Protein backbone atom coordinates (compact mmCIF):
# COMPACT_ATOMS: atom_id res chain seq x y z
CA UNK A 1 0.00 0.00 0.00
CA UNK A 2 1.18 3.50 -0.83
CA UNK A 3 -0.05 6.48 1.20
CA UNK A 4 0.13 10.17 0.34
CA UNK A 5 -0.12 12.90 2.99
CA UNK A 6 -1.43 16.27 1.81
CA UNK A 7 -0.78 18.87 4.47
CA UNK A 8 2.08 17.84 6.72
CA UNK A 9 1.12 19.93 9.74
CA UNK A 10 -0.17 19.27 13.24
CA UNK A 11 -2.66 16.65 12.00
CA UNK A 12 -1.24 15.25 8.75
CA UNK A 13 2.32 15.33 10.02
CA UNK A 14 1.41 13.50 13.21
CA UNK A 15 -0.76 10.74 11.76
CA UNK A 16 1.29 10.47 8.58
CA UNK A 17 4.44 10.23 10.65
CA UNK A 18 3.03 7.36 12.71
CA UNK A 19 1.91 5.51 9.58
CA UNK A 20 5.31 6.00 7.96
CA UNK A 21 7.06 4.77 11.11
CA UNK A 22 4.93 1.60 11.02
CA UNK A 23 6.50 0.62 7.70
CA UNK A 24 3.89 1.80 5.20
CA UNK A 25 5.33 3.51 2.11
CA UNK A 26 4.35 7.13 2.74
CA UNK A 27 4.80 10.22 0.55
CA UNK A 28 4.50 13.74 1.98
CA UNK A 29 3.50 16.87 0.05
CA UNK A 30 5.00 19.96 1.69
CA UNK A 31 5.06 23.67 1.05
CA UNK A 32 7.07 26.14 3.13
CA UNK A 33 9.16 23.55 4.97
CA UNK A 34 9.91 21.28 1.99
CA UNK A 35 13.66 22.03 1.94
CA UNK A 36 13.96 21.55 5.70
CA UNK A 37 12.11 18.22 5.75
CA UNK A 38 13.93 17.00 2.66
CA UNK A 39 17.23 17.53 4.48
CA UNK A 40 16.32 16.81 8.11
CA UNK A 41 13.16 14.67 8.01
CA UNK A 42 10.22 14.89 10.43
CA UNK A 43 10.46 15.29 14.20
CA UNK A 44 7.50 14.38 16.40
CA UNK A 45 7.49 15.03 20.14
CA UNK A 46 4.67 13.01 21.65
CA UNK A 47 3.25 12.23 25.05
CA UNK A 48 3.34 8.61 23.82
CA UNK A 49 7.04 8.74 22.95
CA UNK A 50 9.16 11.04 20.80
CA UNK A 51 10.47 9.87 17.45
CA UNK A 52 12.24 11.15 14.36
CA UNK A 53 11.91 10.12 10.72
CA UNK A 54 15.34 11.18 9.45
CA UNK A 55 14.51 10.43 5.82
CA UNK A 56 11.06 10.79 4.29
CA UNK A 57 9.65 10.86 0.76
CA UNK A 58 9.14 14.63 0.51
CA UNK A 59 7.75 16.57 -2.46
CA UNK A 60 6.88 20.16 -3.22
CA UNK A 61 4.90 19.39 -6.41
CA UNK A 62 2.01 16.91 -6.62
CA UNK A 63 3.03 16.11 -10.20
CA UNK A 64 6.20 14.50 -8.84
CA UNK A 65 4.38 12.16 -6.46
CA UNK A 66 3.44 8.56 -7.31
CA UNK A 67 -0.19 7.50 -7.55
CA UNK A 68 -1.19 6.22 -4.13
CA UNK A 69 -3.82 3.87 -2.81
CA UNK A 70 -4.71 6.14 0.12
CA UNK A 71 -4.51 9.92 0.48
CA UNK A 72 -4.67 11.55 3.90
CA UNK A 73 -5.79 15.17 3.61
CA UNK A 74 -4.54 17.13 6.61
CA UNK A 75 -5.02 20.59 5.10
CA UNK A 76 -7.32 23.07 6.79
CA UNK A 77 -10.68 23.18 5.05
CA UNK A 78 -9.94 26.81 4.08
CA UNK A 79 -7.31 25.42 1.70
CA UNK A 80 -9.54 22.87 -0.04
CA UNK A 81 -9.63 25.05 -3.15
CA UNK A 82 -6.16 23.70 -4.01
CA UNK A 83 -7.26 20.05 -3.96
CA UNK A 84 -8.49 19.95 -7.60
CA UNK A 85 -4.89 20.66 -8.62
CA UNK A 86 -3.49 18.00 -6.26
CA UNK A 87 -5.73 14.97 -5.86
CA UNK A 88 -5.88 13.81 -9.52
CA UNK A 89 -2.07 13.53 -9.52
CA UNK A 90 -1.68 11.54 -6.32
CA UNK A 91 -4.57 9.09 -6.06
CA UNK A 92 -5.48 6.00 -8.02
CA UNK A 93 -8.86 6.15 -9.75
CA UNK A 94 -10.32 3.70 -7.22
CA UNK A 95 -8.29 4.93 -4.25
CA UNK A 96 -9.39 6.07 -0.80
CA UNK A 97 -9.32 9.68 0.43
CA UNK A 98 -9.34 10.23 4.19
CA UNK A 99 -10.32 13.81 5.07
CA UNK A 100 -8.78 14.63 8.45
CA UNK A 101 -10.66 17.91 8.69
CA UNK A 102 -13.08 19.80 10.91
CA UNK A 103 -16.53 21.03 9.98
CA UNK A 104 -19.39 19.53 8.03
CA UNK A 105 -20.07 19.12 4.33
CA UNK A 106 -16.40 18.92 3.37
CA UNK A 107 -16.73 15.46 1.79
CA UNK A 108 -19.48 16.62 -0.59
CA UNK A 109 -17.08 19.11 -2.17
CA UNK A 110 -14.35 16.52 -2.72
CA UNK A 111 -16.50 13.95 -4.54
CA UNK A 112 -16.57 15.91 -7.81
CA UNK A 113 -12.79 16.09 -7.99
CA UNK A 114 -12.20 12.32 -8.03
CA UNK A 115 -15.62 10.70 -8.52
CA UNK A 116 -14.22 7.15 -8.56
CA UNK A 117 -12.57 7.44 -5.17
CA UNK A 118 -13.99 6.33 -1.83
CA UNK A 119 -14.16 9.21 0.64
CA UNK A 120 -13.82 8.65 4.36
CA UNK A 121 -14.20 11.31 6.99
CA UNK A 122 -11.62 11.26 9.77
CA UNK A 123 -12.59 13.08 12.94
CA UNK A 124 -9.46 13.67 14.98
CA UNK A 125 -9.62 13.87 18.76
CA UNK A 126 -6.12 15.27 18.99
CA UNK A 127 -4.21 17.99 20.79
CA UNK A 128 -1.27 18.61 18.50
CA UNK A 129 0.61 21.66 17.21
CA UNK A 130 3.18 22.31 14.52
CA UNK A 131 5.88 24.28 16.32
CA UNK A 132 8.51 24.56 13.60
CA UNK A 133 9.50 23.32 10.13
CA UNK A 134 8.94 19.58 10.10
CA UNK A 135 8.42 19.66 13.88
CA UNK A 136 5.16 18.40 15.45
CA UNK A 137 4.33 18.40 19.16
CA UNK A 138 1.60 15.96 20.27
CA UNK A 139 0.17 17.05 23.63
CA UNK A 140 -2.84 14.85 24.37
CA UNK A 141 -5.40 12.37 23.04
CA UNK A 142 -4.90 11.09 19.46
CA UNK A 143 -7.85 8.86 18.57
CA UNK A 144 -9.60 9.07 15.19
CA UNK A 145 -13.23 8.31 14.43
CA UNK A 146 -13.68 7.09 10.85
CA UNK A 147 -16.88 6.96 8.82
CA UNK A 148 -17.47 6.46 5.10
CA UNK A 149 -19.15 9.13 3.02
CA UNK A 150 -22.22 8.50 0.88
CA UNK A 151 -23.42 11.03 -1.67
CA UNK A 152 -26.96 10.99 -0.27
CA UNK A 153 -25.62 11.54 3.29
CA UNK A 154 -27.22 8.35 4.58
CA UNK A 155 -25.39 5.81 6.73
CA UNK A 156 -22.76 3.84 4.83
CA UNK A 157 -22.27 1.35 7.63
CA UNK A 158 -19.00 -0.42 8.43
CA UNK A 159 -17.58 -1.20 5.00
CA UNK A 160 -14.54 -3.25 4.00
CA UNK A 161 -12.67 -0.12 2.89
CA UNK A 162 -13.41 1.54 6.21
CA UNK A 163 -12.00 -1.50 7.99
CA UNK A 164 -8.91 -1.41 5.75
CA UNK A 165 -8.12 2.16 6.77
CA UNK A 166 -8.87 1.36 10.42
CA UNK A 167 -6.42 -1.53 10.31
CA UNK A 168 -3.70 0.68 8.82
CA UNK A 169 -4.21 3.29 11.55
CA UNK A 170 -4.28 0.71 14.33
CA UNK A 171 -1.09 -0.95 13.10
CA UNK A 172 0.52 2.48 13.37
CA UNK A 173 -0.53 2.71 17.02
CA UNK A 174 -3.48 5.04 16.43
CA UNK A 175 -6.66 4.38 18.39
CA UNK A 176 -9.62 4.09 16.00
CA UNK A 177 -13.38 4.25 16.44
CA UNK A 178 -15.68 3.36 13.54
CA UNK A 179 -19.00 5.09 12.93
CA UNK A 180 -21.80 3.90 10.66
CA UNK A 181 -23.07 7.40 9.82
CA UNK A 182 -20.60 10.13 8.84
CA UNK A 183 -23.01 13.06 9.17
CA UNK A 184 -23.96 12.04 12.72
CA UNK A 185 -20.26 11.76 13.57
CA UNK A 186 -19.63 15.21 12.09
CA UNK A 187 -22.40 16.74 14.24
CA UNK A 188 -20.94 15.04 17.30
CA UNK A 189 -17.56 16.61 16.64
CA UNK A 190 -19.21 19.99 16.08
CA UNK A 191 -20.51 19.90 19.65
CA UNK A 192 -16.93 20.44 20.81
CA UNK A 193 -15.61 22.45 17.88
CA UNK A 194 -18.37 25.05 17.80
CA UNK A 195 -18.23 25.46 21.57
CA UNK A 196 -14.47 25.82 21.98
CA UNK A 197 -12.73 26.78 18.72
CA UNK A 198 -14.36 30.15 18.23
CA UNK A 199 -14.85 30.91 21.92
CA UNK A 200 -11.14 30.50 22.58
CA UNK A 201 -10.46 33.03 19.81
CA UNK A 202 -13.06 35.56 20.89
CA UNK A 203 -12.13 35.37 24.59
CA UNK A 204 -8.38 34.97 23.92
CA UNK A 205 -8.32 31.97 26.25
CA UNK A 206 -7.17 28.37 26.36
CA UNK A 207 -9.55 25.51 27.12
CA UNK A 208 -8.47 25.21 30.75
CA UNK A 209 -9.11 28.93 31.30
CA UNK A 210 -12.64 28.56 29.93
CA UNK A 211 -13.33 25.53 32.11
CA UNK A 212 -12.15 27.41 35.23
CA UNK A 213 -14.68 30.22 34.80
CA UNK A 214 -18.37 29.80 35.57
CA UNK A 215 -19.55 32.27 32.92
CA UNK A 216 -17.38 30.74 30.21
CA UNK A 217 -18.62 27.26 31.07
CA UNK A 218 -22.20 28.49 30.84
CA UNK A 219 -21.48 29.96 27.39
CA UNK A 220 -19.79 26.77 26.22
CA UNK A 221 -22.66 24.63 27.46
CA UNK A 222 -25.20 26.93 25.81
CA UNK A 223 -23.46 26.61 22.44
CA UNK A 224 -23.28 22.83 22.86
CA UNK A 225 -27.01 22.71 23.56
CA UNK A 226 -27.63 24.65 20.35
CA UNK A 227 -25.51 22.22 18.32
CA UNK A 228 -27.32 19.21 19.78
CA UNK A 229 -30.67 20.79 18.94
CA UNK A 230 -29.44 21.74 15.48
CA UNK A 231 -28.44 18.15 14.84
CA UNK A 232 -31.83 16.93 16.06
CA UNK A 233 -33.91 19.21 13.83
CA UNK A 234 -31.73 18.20 10.86
CA UNK A 235 -32.60 14.56 11.54
CA UNK A 236 -29.44 13.48 13.33
CA UNK A 237 -30.28 13.13 17.05
CA UNK A 238 -27.30 12.68 19.35
CA UNK A 239 -27.27 10.43 22.39
CA UNK A 240 -28.46 11.62 25.78
CA UNK A 241 -25.71 13.02 27.99
CA UNK A 242 -23.30 13.74 25.13
CA UNK A 243 -22.71 17.33 26.33
CA UNK A 244 -21.65 16.20 29.80
CA UNK A 245 -19.22 13.70 28.25
CA UNK A 246 -17.61 16.49 26.20
CA UNK A 247 -17.36 18.86 29.16
CA UNK A 248 -15.80 16.22 31.40
CA UNK A 249 -13.28 15.25 28.71
CA UNK A 250 -12.27 18.90 28.26
CA UNK A 251 -11.79 19.36 32.00
CA UNK A 252 -9.22 16.55 31.92
CA UNK A 253 -7.32 17.94 28.92
CA UNK A 254 -4.00 19.69 29.17
CA UNK A 255 -4.13 23.45 28.72
CA UNK A 256 -4.83 23.71 25.01
CA UNK A 257 -5.25 26.30 22.28
CA UNK A 258 -7.58 24.86 19.62
CA UNK A 259 -6.53 25.00 15.98
CA UNK A 260 -8.65 28.06 15.23
CA UNK A 261 -6.93 30.04 17.98
CA UNK A 262 -3.52 29.07 16.61
CA UNK A 263 -4.63 30.04 13.10
CA UNK A 264 -5.82 33.41 14.38
CA UNK A 265 -2.58 34.08 16.23
CA UNK A 266 -0.61 33.20 13.07
CA UNK A 267 -2.78 35.40 10.83
CA UNK A 268 -4.15 32.45 8.86
CA UNK A 269 -7.75 32.24 7.56
CA UNK A 270 -10.27 30.83 10.04
CA UNK A 271 -12.51 27.85 9.25
CA UNK A 272 -15.67 29.82 10.01
CA UNK A 273 -17.59 28.54 6.98
CA UNK A 274 -17.08 24.83 7.67
CA UNK A 275 -17.28 24.86 11.48
CA UNK A 276 -19.95 27.54 11.95
CA UNK A 277 -21.73 28.85 8.88
CA UNK A 278 -22.64 25.53 7.26
CA UNK A 279 -24.20 23.89 10.36
CA UNK A 280 -25.90 27.17 11.35
CA UNK A 281 -27.49 27.34 7.87
CA UNK A 282 -28.50 23.66 8.01
CA UNK A 283 -30.25 24.19 11.34
CA UNK A 284 -31.88 27.45 10.21
CA UNK A 285 -33.25 25.75 7.09
CA UNK A 286 -34.80 23.15 9.40
CA UNK A 287 -36.41 25.86 11.54
CA UNK A 288 -33.94 26.30 14.41
CA UNK A 289 -31.80 29.40 14.99
CA UNK A 290 -28.45 28.86 16.70
CA UNK A 291 -28.25 32.36 18.17
CA UNK A 292 -25.18 31.89 20.40
CA UNK A 293 -23.23 30.17 17.65
CA UNK A 294 -24.31 32.89 15.20
CA UNK A 295 -22.96 35.59 17.54
CA UNK A 296 -19.63 33.78 17.82
CA UNK A 297 -19.46 33.36 14.03
CA UNK A 298 -20.03 37.08 13.42
CA UNK A 299 -17.32 37.99 15.92
CA UNK A 300 -14.93 35.52 14.29
CA UNK A 301 -15.61 37.00 10.85
CA UNK A 302 -14.88 40.50 12.15
CA UNK A 303 -11.70 39.40 13.92
CA UNK A 304 -10.57 37.37 10.90
CA UNK A 305 -10.99 40.29 8.49
CA UNK A 306 -9.26 42.73 10.81
CA UNK A 307 -6.49 40.27 11.61
CA UNK A 308 -5.65 39.52 7.99
CA UNK A 309 -5.97 43.11 6.78
CA UNK A 310 -3.34 44.20 9.31
CA UNK A 311 -0.96 41.31 8.57
Positions marked active-site:
189
Longest dimension (CA), the chain: 55
CA distance 209 to 255: 8
In this structure, what are the phi and psi dihedrals at residue 27, rounded to the nearest 5 degrees? -125, 125
CA distance 109 to 73: 13
Name every residue whose Cβ is closer than 8 Å to that of residue 263 and which is 6 or more positions away in sequence. 76, 269, 270, 271
Decide if 74 contacts 13 (C-beta within 8 A). Answer: yes
In this structure, what are the phi and psi dihedrals at residue 274, rounded to the nearest 5 degrees? -75, -40
CA distance 42 to 50: 11
Q: What is the CA radius of gyration of the chain?
A: 19
Name every residue whose Cβ is closer than 8 Å to that of residue 235 and which is 6 or more positions away in sequence. 286
Distance of CA 24 to the CA centre of its chain: 22
Amino acid sequence: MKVAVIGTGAVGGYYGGLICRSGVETHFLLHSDFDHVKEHGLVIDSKDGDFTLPEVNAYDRPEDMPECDVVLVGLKATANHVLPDILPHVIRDDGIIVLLQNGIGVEDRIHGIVPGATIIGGLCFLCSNKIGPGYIRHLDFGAVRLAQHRNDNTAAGITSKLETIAQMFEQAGISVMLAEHLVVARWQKLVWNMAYNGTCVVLAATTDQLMADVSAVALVRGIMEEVVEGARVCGYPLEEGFIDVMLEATKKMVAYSPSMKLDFEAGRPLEVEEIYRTPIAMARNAGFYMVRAEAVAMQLEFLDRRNRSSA
